[in-house]
Amino acid sequence: MPDTTVTDLTERGVDLVRVLWSDLHGIARGKDLTIDELPRAIRHGVGFCQALMLTGLDATPLETEETSGSGWPDAIARPDLNTIAIADHVPGVAICLADILDSRTGTPLQLSPRDILRTQVSRLSTRNLRPIVGPELEFSVCRPDPTAGFGWREYLDRDTAGYVVGVANDPAELIPLLLRRSRAMGIPVFAGNHEFSGGQFEINIRHGEALPAADRAFLFKHVAKEIVAQQGLRATFMGKPFAGRAGNGTHLHISFVDSDGRNVFHDPAAKHGLSTVAQSFLAGLIGYAPALTAILNPTVNAFKRLGAGLAPAVANWGPDNRAAYIRVPPERGPDTRLEVRVGDGTANPYLAIAALLAAGLDGIDRGLEPPPPVTRDDPTDGAPLPTSLDAALTALEDDKALAEALGPRYVELFIALKRQETRRFAAAVTDWEFREYSWLL
């Protein structure tokens, strides 16, 4: 590593480097290093217990060959200098994303979300296709309230129907704060607004190549939670944090360009202005929709969002139709793209994008044709999506072609990790159950 990198960071007031990586959930795991340790970390990596990649949200690791079966071995996080950004919200700290390596072989770990996405990008490059992705991230801000059911309530009590800005609907001025601080550290956010429900927000991130786009979405989610926490509030990307309120999604705008930078989704002579490549990619997404649901909606809670409001319950597509699984925005030419609207706010951006690329590529390779488009909001106009995480995991388990494309062992372990989660939920006694049954029964 060039000495100039440490010198430059030091001259800019940096004395700590936060090395971050994504586990299978999309949680930001990491270590804070002193600046003088960075050169060594670049050469040798940062060791951590590999079981962290396979640990449930209850902090219980999956018992498998990669964890207890191998004596709880290390994995290696190697900082990627191309991702260094100075954290505007934490003085003296730079953030650097890492690639995850197998400590025994030095090769990419098969459980690394960043490398799972990188593999799909590489597969597309052999066909002269470069995926471009623009993430839209929705989240809810909560304020502490000891009288509320979980100790937290909505940041604002009233729904706004969306697209309002200003102090009246954002008293802590979180949107300007998030936009300015994200831009200051190189995350190319370009817009933000209050969404439908009280305390619900959306941030738009500039489109770019698939891996950097996923990096930016992952980093923004980490930074947003920290910035909001500094205000004594909580940001959550969970799909349905409050009953009766709008849910949070991860909407992904996807297109392809060729080696000349030409958008290959556009064909002015074709129906709807979509090229054969675009139509086959779209058809692949719809064909794999049941299995994709587990990766795009990876929590029990996510299924309380689907089918409500503008969150789709069936796999379909439509020109400029926000009720559809896939919306085709009206722009054409270099801006031709597909918007996949089904993703939950908790979707891991690396794994979500990787799964969509794998499914769509199969559609391209097989020359699939999409079903007719839908032009209205009809929850029965399309193939039904799984209605629970258990059902979605079964669909993913049964889809051997998608598992082969993404990596059979990753898919197997992802399913095992999430099955552990559904079993915990099935055994839990909820507040609703106590309220419903304890008084009269």
Residues 425-439 pLDDT 10s? 999 999 889 989 999
At residue 102, the pLDDT reads 93
Q: Which pLDDT value is given to residue 159?
A: 79
Return the pLDDT at 3.
59
The pLDDT tens digits of the residues spanning 28-86 come to: 999 999 999 999 999 999 999 999 999 999 999 999 998 888 899 999 999 999 999 99
**HSE-up (13 A, CA, CB side) for residue 248:** 26
Mean pLDDT of 343-362: 98
Least confident of 160-164, 237-241, 291-295: 160-164
Q: Exposed e or buried b for every residue in 62-101, given b needs 16+ CB within 10 A?
A: bebebbeeeeeebbbbbbbeebbbbbbbbeebbbbbbbbb
Higher-confidence position of 156 and 93: 93
Give residue 226's pLDDT: 97
pLDDT at residue 194, rounded to an integer: 87
pLDDT digits (tens, 9 = 90+) for 248-289: 999 999 999 999 999 999 999 998 999 999 999 999 999 999
Distance CA 6, CA 286 (A): 48
DSSP string across 122-156: HHHHTTT-EEEEEEEEEEEEEEE-TTSTTSEEESS
The pLDDT score that the predictor gives to residue 379 is 64
Instruction: Name the CA dihedral angle for 81, 235, 200, 345, rounded to a multiple of 10 degrees.
Output: 60
Tell me the per-residue pLDDT of 220-237, one tens digit each, with 9 for 90 and over: 999 999 999 999 999 999
410 — pLDDT class (breaks 50, 70, 90): very high
Q: What is the pLDDT of residue 1?
A: 45
The Cα–Cα gap between 381 and 402 comes to 25
Least confident of 293-297, 308-312, 413-417: 308-312
**Which pLDDT score is estimated for 149?**
76
Please, is 306 exposed, middle or buried when counting C-beta atoms within 10 Å of its C-beta (0-12, 13-18, 19+)? buried
- Averaged pLDDT of the chain: 94
Average pLDDT score over residue span 129-156: 92
Whether pTM > 0.85 for this model: the answer is yes
Report helix, strand or coil for 372: coil
Asked if 130 and 256 touch (Cβ cutoff 8 Å), the reply is yes
Rounded CA-CA distance 50/109 in Å is 10
Which domains are present in the chain?
A: 3-100 (3.10.20.70), 119-431 (3.30.590.10)
Q: What is the average per-residue pLDDT within 122-149?
A: 94
Q: Does residue 2 surpass a pLDDT of 80?
A: no
Separation between Cα atoms, residue 275 and residue 278, nearest integer Å = 5
Question: What number is the average pLDDT over the span 380-406?
Answer: 94
Residue 223 near residue 91, CB atoms below 8 Å: no
Q: Percent of the chain having pLDDT more than 90?
A: 84
**394 membership: H or E segment, kind and range:** helix 389-398
pLDDT of 381 higher than 50:
yes
Q: Is 388 exposed, middle or buried (0-12, 13-18, 19+ CB in 10 A)?
A: middle
Of 144, 381, 152, nearest to 245 by C-alpha is 152
